[in-house]
Structure 1
Amino acid sequence: MDNDFARAMWRVLEPLHAVTYFAPSCTAANKAAGFRGYWMGYFAARSAPLGAVGPGVIEATFYNFHPAMIRRAIPDAWTFATPEIALTTRSTAAAGVLQALVPDLAAVIDEALPALQAAIAGAPAPGRALFAANRDLPTPADPAAALWQAATTLREHRGDGHVGCLLAEGIDGCEAHVLFSADTGAPEQMWRDNRGWTETDWAAARNRLQARGLLDDSGITDTGRNLRIHLESRTDELAMTAYRDIPDIAAALAALTPAAKAVAHSGAVPYPNPMGANPI
Structure 2
Amino acid sequence: MDSRHEAERSWTIDAARRLWALYEPVHALTYFAPAALAGAGPLGGSFWARYVAQRAAPLGQAPTAVVVAAFGGFAPDRIADALAGVAPDTTPTEALETRLRGVDAAWRELPGLPDDAVVTEAADLAWAAAQACEDAGRVLGAANRALPRPPAPHLALWQATTTLREHRGDGHLAALAVQGIGPVTSHVLKVAARESPGRDLRLGRRIPDDAWTAEVDRLSTRGLVRAGPDGEPVLTDDGEALHAAVEDATDRAAGRPWEVLGAAPTDRLAALLEPIAAAARTVVPPLNPIGLPRR
TM-score, length basis structure 1: 0.93
The aligned counterpart of 2:118 is 108
Give the match's secondary structure for 2:150.
coil
Aligned 8 A contact 2:286 2:293 in 1: yes
The aligned counterpart of 1:276 is 291
Select 2:276's aligned residue among 249, 259, 278.
Answer: 259
Matches within 5 A, 1:1-280: 1-32=11-42, 34-77=43-86, 79-101=88-110, 102-184=112-194, 186-216=196-226, 219-247=234-262, 248-264=265-281, 266=282, 268-280=283-295
CA distance in 1, matches of 2:135, 2:121: 25
Q: State the AA in 1 paired with 2:74.
A: F
Moved more, 81-90 or 22-31: 22-31
Aligned 8 A contact 2:132 2:260 in 1: no
1:13-55 Cα distance to aligned partner (Å, 9 max, x none): 11100010111111111113x3121110000100000012232
Give the Å deviation of 1:221.
2.3
Aligned 8 A contact 1:115 1:252 in 2: yes
1:106-163 Cα distance to aligned partner (Å, 9 max, x none): 1232221222122122221100000000000111122211111011110111111101
Aligned 8 A contact 1:98 1:105 in 2: no
Give the match's secondary structure for 2:12.
coil
Aligned positions, number: 277
1:249–1:183 CA distance, 2 compared to 1 (3 A): closer
Moved more, 168-177 or 71-80: 71-80
Q: State the AA in 2 paired with 1:177.
A: H
Q: Which sections of structure 2, spanning at least 5 residues, go unmatched?
A: 1-10, 229-233
CA distance in 1, matches of 2:276, 2:255: 21
Give the Å deviation of 1:273.
0.7
Q: State the AA in 2 paired with 1:257.
A: E
1:153-207 Cα distance to aligned partner (Å, 9 max, x none): 1011111110100011011111111112122274321211111112111012223
CA distance in 1, matches of 2:294, 2:197: 16
Aligned 8 A contact 2:36 2:103 in 1: yes
1:279–1:210 CA distance, 2 compared to 1 (3 A): closer
CA distance in 2, matches of 1:30, 1:277: 23
Q: State the AA in 2 paired with 1:237.
A: R
Give the Å deviation of 1:72.
0.7
Aligned 8 A contact 1:120 1:154 in 2: yes
CA distance in 2, matches of 1:157, 1:105: 28
TM-score, length basis structure 2: 0.88
The aligned counterpart of 2:5 is none
Moved more, 99-108 or 230-239: 99-108
Q: Which sections of structure 1, spanning at least 5 residues, go unmatched?
A: none
